[in-house]
Amino acid sequence: MIAKRIGCVSTRFAGTDGVSLEVNKWIDVFRDDLSCDIYWFAGVLDRNPDKSMLVEEAYFGHDNNQWIDQHVFGSHERGKDVSKAIYDMSQRLKQKLYEFTEKFGIELLLIENALCIPMHIPLGMAITEFIAETNFPSIGHHHDFFWERDRFKRNAIGDYLQAAFPPILPAMQHVTINSMAQNALAGRRGCHSIMVPNVHDFETLPPEEDEYLTDMRAQLGFADDDIIILQPTRIIPRKGIEHAINIVAQLDMPKAKLVISHKTGDEGNAYYEALQEYAQYRKVDMRLIEHRIDEERREGENGEKIYSLGDAYHIADLVTYPSLYEGFGNAFLETIYFKKPIVVNRYTTFIEDIEPKGFKVAKLDGFVTPEVVEEARRYIEDKELAKEHAEINYNLGIRHFSYRVLRTKLRYLLENADLI
C-alpha cells in the first residue's frame, strides 16, 4: 500500500491535554495499521521537526489571538478594527496552510478541534477558506462545540461561528466523540457526522511496575503507607475537583492524599486558588505533581526523575473523576486501562455512552453522599474487590473502546476520502 500523507492541524499539539492525547491514538492507527505518513501544523508543537510546520500565530495563547478574544466574547458588538484583525490574521494563517500542504505533499487534512470550539477564530476561518478554495479532503475531529460552553455564549462573532465552527463543506467529513454531540450537530446545523468514541490501546496490556517506579512515592514526597487518591485531570472548574476534596474529607483517613496530576488549564488560576482554600478548610492534604509528570519518562533539568502519566496511575490506590461535563472521558478510559478503581460523577456523556456498557465503578449524581464515600472506602480497603472489578472493566474496555473499534472507523473515513 502506498503511504498516504496526512496533515494534522490544530492550535497546539503538545503536553497531556485531552486533544493531544487522543490524536496520538489516531496517529498510532493511521501510521501503524493504515500505512499513513503524518505531518503537523500548529502554534505549539512537540513533534518531529522534520515533519512539522510551527506557526506561532496559530497558538490560541498568541498575543494577537488573545486580543481578539478579549474584544469578541462577553459583548454583542464588534468594532471594525477587530474584524480587520481577524481577517488579516486568518489570511496569514491561510497562506501558511497552502505552504504546509505543498511542502509535505499532504493528501488529507485532519483538523483537531480547531473547527468546533472558537479558541482561535482566525485559524478556524483560515482552515475553512483553505478547504473551500481547494476542495481539500478533510476530516474535522470535533471534541467540544462552542454551544457547550457558557463562556462563548455571549459573543460578537455569530457570523464566524456560523461559517466556520464547524463549516459545512463538500470535502469535509465530520467526526463527533459522543452521541449527544452527534445529535446536536445534526439538529443545529443539519450536518451528518460519524461518531468515534475516545479509545485506549486495551489490546496491549498495561506495563508492569518496574525499577523506575520503585522510589516514585518517595521521590514525590509520599510515605509507603500513604493512600494516594489520584485526580488525573487539569485544574479547571468543569472537572469538579471540589467533589474529590469532599470524598477525601469524608473518608477521614489520615494517610489519604489527594494528588492532582495536571496543571491549571487555560482558564486562569482562580479555580485552583479556591480549591486550595477549600482543601485547607476541609483538612485535606491536596498536592500537585504536574511538575514531575510528562507524556514520557525523562530526566528533569536538575537531574530529577520525570514520570509518565501512566506511572501516576500505577501508584494510585483510587482515582477520582467527578467531572461536571466531559466530551467523552480520557481519564476514565486510562483508569480502566491501568486497572484502578474509580469514583465517577455521572456526567451526561457517561450516562449516555459509557454507563450502559456495565462498568463497575462508584458513582455520584452531582454531589457526594455517604454511600459513595463507603464505596470508595471499600475499594481502598478491599483489594480483592478492586481487582475483580478492574478485570471486568478492562474486558469491557477491550470490547467497546479499543483500537479495534478505532481501526474500523478510521478505515471507513479513508475510504470515504478515496484514499484506500
Q: Specify the CATH number for the domain of residue 367.
A: 3.40.50.2000
Tell whether 190 and 289 lie within a shared domain. Answer: no
Q: Which contacts (CB < 8 Å, 24+ apart) does range 219-222 have? A: 219/292, 219/304, 219/305, 220/259, 220/287, 220/289, 220/292, 221/287, 222/257, 222/315
The rounded distance, in Å, linking the Cα atoms of 103 and 250 is 58
The pLDDT value given to residue 395: 97
Tell whether 133 and 170 lie within a shared domain. Answer: yes
In a domain, 396, yes or no: yes
The pLDDT value given to residue 44: 96
- What three-state secondary structure class fits 319? strand
Tell whether 222 and 272 lie within a shared domain. Answer: yes
Tens-digit pLDDT string for the chain (420 aa): 456 999 999 999 987 677 888 899 999 999 999 999 999 999 999 999 999 999 999 999 999 999 999 999 999 999 999 999 999 999 999 999 999 999 999 999 999 999 999 999 999 999 999 999 999 999 999 999 999 988 999 999 999 999 999 999 999 999 999 999 999 999 999 999 999 999 999 999 999 889 999 999 999 999 999 999 999 999 999 999 999 999 999 999 999 999 999 987 666 789 999 999 999 999 999 999 999 998 889 999 999 999 999 999 999 999 999 999 998 988 999 999 999 999 999 999 999 999 999 999 999 999 999 999 999 999 999 999 999 999 999 999 999 999 999 999 999 999 998 887
> Distance between alpha carbon 406 and the CA centroid of its chain, in Å?
16
In a domain, 88, yes or no: yes
Tell whether 215 and 132 lie within a shared domain. Answer: no
Other C-beta atoms closer than 10 Å to the C-beta of 151 total 11
Tell whether 396 and 407 lie within a shared domain. Answer: no
In a domain, 394, yes or no: yes
Assess contact for 100 and 7: CB atoms under 8 A.
yes
In a domain, 266, yes or no: yes
The pLDDT value given to residue 373: 98
Tell whether 299 and 160 lie within a shared domain. Answer: no
Other C-beta atoms closer than 10 Å to the C-beta of 73 total 16
In a domain, 204, yes or no: no
What total number of domains does the chain contain?
2
Tell whether 388 and 407 lie within a shared domain. Answer: no
Instruction: Tell me which residue range forms the domain holding 357.
Output: 211-400
In a domain, 268, yes or no: yes
**HEC assignment per residue over 211-272:** HHHCCHHHHCCCCCCCEEEEECCCECHHHCHHHHHHHHHHHCCCCEEEEECCCECCCCCHHH
Tell whether 372 and 256 lie within a shared domain. Answer: yes
Tell whether 97 and 240 lie within a shared domain. Answer: no
In a domain, 302, yes or no: yes
Grid cell, residue 363, equals 458513582
Tell whether 235 and 274 lie within a shared domain. Answer: yes
Tell whether 147 and 216 lie within a shared domain. Answer: no
- What three-state secondary structure class fits 11? coil
Question: Look-up: residue for cell 483538523?
Answer: 111
In a domain, 205, yes or no: no
Tell whether 12 and 39 lie within a shared domain. Answer: yes
Taking each continuous run of H as one helix and of E as one strand, the counts in the chain are: 15, 18
